[in-house]
Amino acid sequence: MTNQTLVEIFLNHCAVERGLSKNTVAAYRRDLDKFVIFLSEAKLAIAEATSANIIDFAGFLRNSGLSESSIARHVVAIRSLYAFLSKDQGIDNVAIEVNPPKIPKRLPKALTISDIESMIASNGEDIAGVRNKALIETLYATGARVSEIVQLNVGDISRSEGNTVTVKVRGKGGKERLVPMGKFAQHALDQYLTRSRPTMLKNAREEALFLNEKRGTRLTRQSAWQIVMKAAERAGIERDISPHALRHSFATHLLDGGADIRVVQELLGHSSVTTTQIYTLVTIDKLRESYASAHPRSR
């Protein structure tokens, strides 16, 4: 089999059997295509490559100016490829001893509550503005990834007898989790569902929660990203803001408010609590700052 055929078999396995998202599979494809080109220039087949070739590829990426995190992502993709091929095709797993470079932990940058309020308020009362308010409120209220939010259907929003609203979020690997929604987000979503969505809707069978105002189809991840970025600009936030900043803020604000880390882990959809623990570093830094400024013998 050709190198490209082996990669396609692996990608199909990731999409069908492992249920990885389209974005994850696409990222694997981009990274592995570079590896295949690198091997082709060396006239090597995937089955013939050695761990030294993979290390050389990492060096090639580094010399090309890629960051350590990008190099690590490429190495992880290659390790996943060989782990699969060793079981499926009997190819030696030469990547098992090649470790991705260690990435220093970077603390998430959380927005302030006033920043978020300003972003929401920066939207108008027209059809798109009402939708944009609901989108930002939902991102912050649930802590969901933007890819998870744009995949929501109207049927994923449910109300209990006490009028508590919960959102069924589909995370990585198709795992589902239920996330409660606060009053502000509930109100913004109700406004959108009664005032904006019916006007945007072109096909009565469209199930998507958030719609494109012109086509009436599901809002794309890229469009949601632009909505958040433009709201941040209008709010006068000078640093680059992405939808993920709202997820960071959701986790940080919950922990600042005394939420249990296991609860935050569940709400974020993290498979391991160690992933969630990076947010505790943010709150510890705030404690240090408060201590340094308030304690008479801290200096």
Of the ranges 108-112, 156-160, 213-217, 239-243, which one carries the lowest mean pLDDT score?
A: 108-112
> Is 279 annotated in the active site?
yes
Exactly one of 18, 109, 195, 244 is catalytic; name it. Answer: 244
Burial class (CB in 10 A: 0-12, 13-18, 19+), 280: middle
Judged against a pLDDT cut of 70, whether residue 289 lies above it is answered with no
Residues 69 and 127 in one domain: no
Please compute the mean of the pLDDT values over residues 43-65 and round it to a whole number.
94
Q: For position 263, which CATH number holds?
A: 1.10.443.10
Domain assignment present for residue 298? The answer is: no
What is the tally of structural domains in the chain? Answer: 2
pTM of the model: 0.63
Domain assignment present for residue 236? The answer is: yes
| pLDDT tens per residue, range 236-273 | 998 888 898 999 999 989 988 888 888 889 888 887 77
Judged against a pLDDT cut of 90, whether residue 160 lies above it is answered with no
> Is 270 annotated in the active site?
yes
> Is 291 annotated in the active site?
no
Domain assignment present for residue 97? The answer is: no
Q: For position 78, which CATH number holds?
A: 1.10.150.130
Residues 21 and 119 in one domain: no
> Can you give the pLDDT at residue 238?
82
> Can you give the pLDDT at residue 255?
87
Judged against a pLDDT cut of 70, whether residue 291 lies above it is answered with no
By the 8 A CB rule, do 72 and 28 touch?
A: no
Judged against a pLDDT cut of 60, whether residue 299 lies above it is answered with no
Judged against a pLDDT cut of 70, whether residue 298 lies above it is answered with no
Residues 150 and 284 in one domain: yes
Average pLDDT, the chain: 89
Residues 146 and 79 in one domain: no
| pLDDT tens per residue, range 66-81 | 988 899 999 999 999 9
Q: How many CA atoms lie within 13 A of 79 on its CB side?
A: 14
Residues 15 and 139 in one domain: no
Domain boundary among 72, 88, 104: 88
Exactly one of 172, 177, 230, 234 is catalytic; name it. Answer: 172
Helix (H) or strand (E) segment spanning residue 6? helix 3-16
> Is 28 annotated in the active site?
no
> Is 187 annotated in the active site?
no
> Can you give the pLDDT at residue 293?
66
Exactly one of 34, 131, 197, 247 is catalytic; name it. Answer: 247
- Can you give the residue range of the structural domain that contains 134? 113-290
Domain assignment present for residue 108? The answer is: no
Residues 133 and 274 in one domain: yes
For residues 59 and 51, give the distance between their C-alpha atoms in angstroms, rounded to a whole number.
Answer: 12
Residues 286 and 170 in one domain: yes
Domain boundary among 24, 53, 88: 88
Domain assignment present for residue 100? The answer is: no
Domain assignment present for residue 102? The answer is: no
Please compute the mean of the pLDDT values over residues 83-88 and round it to a whole number.
95
Residues 117 and 56 in one domain: no
> Can you give the pLDDT at residue 286?
60
Of the ranges 21-30, 91-100, 158-167, which one carries the lowest mean pLDDT score?
A: 158-167
> Can you give the pLDDT at residue 287?
60
> Is 145 annotated in the active site?
yes
Residues 142 and 221 in one domain: yes
Residues 171 and 240 in one domain: yes
**Token reading at 17:** 């059997």
Percent of the residues in the chain that have a pLDDT greater than 70, as a whole number: 92
Exactly one of 13, 79, 131, 145 is catalytic; name it. Answer: 145
Can you point out the beta strands (E) in 117-262? 157-159, 165-170, 176-181
Judged against a pLDDT cut of 80, whether residue 204 lies above it is answered with yes
Q: What is the dihedral of CA 188, 190, 196, 200, to 10 degrees?
A: 120
Residues 276 and 196 in one domain: yes
Domain assignment present for residue 245? The answer is: yes
Gyration radius (Cα) of the chain, Å: 23
Q: Predicted confidence band at 108 (pLDDT cuts at 50, 70, 90)?
A: low
> Can you give the pLDDT at residue 130?
97
Domain boundary among 88, 105, 121: 88
Percent of the residues in the chain that have a pLDDT greater than 90, as a whole number: 68
By three-state DSSP, how is residue 169 classified?
Answer: strand
Residues 41 and 161 in one domain: no
